[in-house]
Amino acid sequence: MTDPLPPREVRTYRAWGAARHLAGGVRDPAFRELVQHIDGGPLHRCPPVVLLVDGAEAFRVMMQAIDAAREEVLLETYILRDDTLGTSVQQALVRAAARGVRVCVLADAVGSIGTDDDFWRGLTDHGVTVRLFHRVWQHPLEMLRRDHRKLLLCDRALAFTGGMNVGTEYGSSILHHEGAWRDTFVQVEGSVARELAAVFAEGWDRARGPALPGLEYVSWGELDTMPSLQLRVRAPALPFALPQAVQRQLGRRRDRRRGRLVRRVIETAAPEDRAVLVLDPRPGRGQREMLGVIAALLGGARERLWITTPYFAPPTRALSLLTAAARRGVDVRLLLPSARTDVPIVRHAAHGAYATLLAAGVRVFEYERATLHAKTMVVDGHASLIGSSNLDFRSFWLNAECNVLVLDAACGTAVEDTFQQDLTTSREITAAAWRERTMPHRLFDALARGMRWAL
């Protein structure tokens, strides 16, 4: 069946269209070349990826990694609370600094606004270097641009990223704690950890942190590579022809927006290897590439497309990609928050799109066991996107985010298994039931949907 996309939007969906023409979808060897061509970053070969879906277990593993670090610990987070979990992390960081480990903490100034000054002094007084990202008086015109990344890096060899902030609600087990949040982190090793350290260094530079030795990164303000070296990426050969003008445009955009030099230290993934691509958009760099990769994932879906996100307020064009996949027979499922959400207006913005999604055959579920905060996408049990990005305007255009695209059947199976487990404590929204909602509910849904660009 022909996908219902109007001709005027062909340019917008170029990445989507290219993936649609791959015989094997996301499993096609050319899909790797396509996403690398879109983003311009390297595909890393790495050991098996570890999925961490329970907060208590995730922070137990991360605390062990901090205690085992011998040279460097880098922590970046949107929220760092001074609660029980935050204090435990603080103590682990202080122990590392006492061993002579270089410890750097980067927290968003708005996300962590409730954290007491005594907490930060408890770090700095013991040798930990702390910076707060985009303090209002330092960047008054950029208050809306926040650091939403969540990263922990140990010795540039072991890294964790995903959706979990540092707070008791994130670090509690959903099996045993009533107030726990359902979130996902992922553990990766190898050269991908070094690229994630460069991601940290970019935000650290913006927050006026001291230079970190041995890292090449993009200076936030200048879009220059630090140290000052030029980036040249050779686009991989694709099994289909893109117009030369398009290739030149993509090449210029990639060279302009991607500045980190990590290829000299990467372990390049062969076609049969597990491959990891880092997607780290932030205002002014990498945003269109991130959207292009997401579009390619949607276009490359052949059997299943399962998405978990707590904040679902995408633009209309993104909805057309989801509905197009469902109409061509892909099993498209969305797992979204229930009334336990922490941002009700965004939930209503999602509600404003339910009728369109359900009419196209998209299955919609609302998670009821806990507050949903995980951000994952899995396609055909092979391609998994895990990180901090939500499917909303803020993540697309205002936040600094960090995600990893894992091309690996074992990881894909683990994400799918987790998704199915989450469905056991979720409620499916049916078209018939949705038509029964009250008029005030309908009006609030329409209002919130209309405000999606401001959420």
Could you give the CA distance from residue 26 to residue 297 in angstroms, rounded to a whole number? 7
Looking at 108, 155, 280, 445, which residue is catalytic?
155
As a whole number of angstroms, the distance between CA 403 and CA 426 comes to 25
Contact present, 396 and 287 (Cβ < 8 Å): yes
**Which of 150, 348, 351, 382 does the annotation list as catalytic?**
150
What is the distance, to the nearest Å, from the Cα of residue 322 to the centroid of all Cα atoms in its chain? Answer: 18
Among 37, 351, 375, 382, the one annotated catalytic:
375
Query: Does residue 82 contact residue 159 with C-beta atoms inside 8 Å?
Result: no
List the catalytic residue out of 148, 348, 351, 382.
148
155 is catalytic: yes
Active-site residue, 37 included: no
Given the residues 373, 408, 422, 445, select the one marked as catalytic. 373
Catalytic, out of 82, 183, 205, 380:
380
Is 83 assigned a catalytic role? no
Q: Which two tokens stand for residue 98?
A: 């006492």
Residue linked to tokens 């109007």: 6
Nearest to 369 by CA among 422, 419, 310, 309: 422
What positions carry a catalytic annotation? 148, 150, 155, 373, 375, 380
